[in-house]
Amino acid sequence: MKKRLLIISPYFPTSEKWEKELKKGWDEVEYIPFPDVPSTASMAEIYPIAEELVEKIRQWVGDNPEGSCVRLQGSYSLCRLVYQLIDQRCSSKTAIFRLKPR
């Protein structure tokens, strides 16, 4: 089983050394840029963004839920909503998801 990490964050490795450190212990690391969420956005505006992220996570996890981990960093409102949607919709959520709001 491959150990896979999906990072959804506004913070990307800015150097080869940093990227190398992030990959320690993982067979595969993938990055998705955290969506730009205006501080004035309503939950109605954030909801479709959260749904899109959840779908990306589900597709990425695919058939490897036990070896997959998601690290989510960014706007608390969006992170919290993504966590809630995963909690409602994904059967293997405990194996794939750790919430890290910033």
> pTM value?
0.77
Q: What order do you get walking across the sheet with 28-33 strand by strand?
A: 28-33, 4-9, 68-72, 97-99
Each domain of the chain, given as residue ranges in start order, spans 1-5+44-60+68-102
Query: Tokens 């940093």 sit at which residue?
Result: 18
CB within 8 A of 59, min separation 6: which ones? none
**Residue 53 phi, psi dihedral angles, 5° rounding:** -65, -40
Q: Could you tell me where the DSSP H helices lie in 1-102? A: 16-23, 43-61, 76-89, 93-96
| Tens-place pLDDT, residues 38-94 | 889 999 999 999 999 998 988 888 877 777 888 888 888 999 999 888 888 765 554
